[in-house]
Structure 1
Amino acid sequence: MTFLNSAFALGNIVFEHSGTNRVINETWFTHVGVDELDPDKTFESEMKAALGTEDSPGVLDVYSSGLGWSTTSASPNSKVGYITLFPFQFALGGLELEKLRVQGDGVTMTWVSFPDGLFEKAFLGSNLVHEIGHWAGLFHTFTTQQEPGSCEGPGDYVRDTPVQAYAAHLKLSAFDTTCVAQDTCPNNPGSDAINNYMDYAPEACRTEFTPGQFKRMRDILSLYRDIET
């Protein structure tokens, strides 16, 4: 919680831990988040219906599962973490969207992604910050509405993040600590935001949100999750 709150502190966004529910369910652990094992998200919906907090879109549920990782390696289709829905998707109203919120809201992380875990040199806690950024309405800094690699369009809809054509991890390994920024859109102001939590960069590099990102999160948390910061 200390690491999490320090990442959001400059935006006056604070999280409080309300409890931990430890459940042993081998099927959920091995199937949830693995597309070929849970293609229609049956097991994910089952897990979240059983464990999730359904009463409020302002309560953040964080689930820890396998997501394709073992104690020694990751499968080709493994994930570090993900959200199923952005807040503005289910907040449009209607019973079907409310059902999607109940069954799909929250953040799901692989168990190896937390600090002091199996791959502690690669996973420092920034991936959870990244996924919570999505939960609060942020897109990737390398988002493009055109073809992949395009430097055109509104990007992530935040003015103070430089336009970025590709994720930083395409050039760097997860264990890289040099954190040298690329410039994938040289005709636009600024270099790629390698230090931004919403890039795909080594965790050691990701240390900040911009003021514009904090504003977008506060606005979306207020509008769609009824959270005032």
Structure 2
Amino acid sequence: MEDRYRTVARGGVYESEVKRSRFLCTLAPADSEEAAQEVVRAVRKEHAAATHNCFAYVIGPQGRLHRASDDGEPGGTAGTPMLQVLLGREVRDTVAVVTRYYGGVQLGAGGLARAYGGAVSAALDAIGTVERRRLALLTVTADHQRAGRLENEIRAAGHAVREVSYGADVTFHLGVPEPEVAAFRGWLADITAGGAACAVEGTAYVTLAP
């Protein structure tokens, strides 16, 4: 199982022009085929008057589920180049839809492939990607007296803090690489003199701060 992968940072649209044809690349996170298809449907509805709405998506940390569509462009000139960009840049859980408004100039097979693949590549550069890593999900509980210093120490150590909740005690929800859990427990005991509790609540992919 992959322990880390990259995905698009957020949803967004990037527009480019090639020989008077407009290309609008919509990128969005999608962690299932259903979510990806919903984005495709939404773009096709929004741009129903467009000449083509081609798509490609890659689902899962290993990218085993992927699909592409030329949506009427010559076979292999749109969806496949788009998919190749996503796979080549190791972007996962992402859907790309490239909307084309024809500008009256034929691009040829090579020109189409460059235009569609280039639209996805440029959109990824503009919108950006983030890393997601498979981490053990930990809850650390401490009293209010220790909590401020403990939070500073946790963040300074580079651990991914997902949430902090306040009640009778303060609970930190964070992610730690599985091989490092034992070391984290020891570190926590040292800096709190045994005054904090730590529990593991499974694993999940967590988006890391850029």
Q: TM-score, normalised on structure 2?
A: 0.23
TM-score normalised to structure 1 length: 0.22
Greater relative contact order (Cα 8 A, min sep 6): structure 1 or 2?
Answer: 2
More strand by share: 2
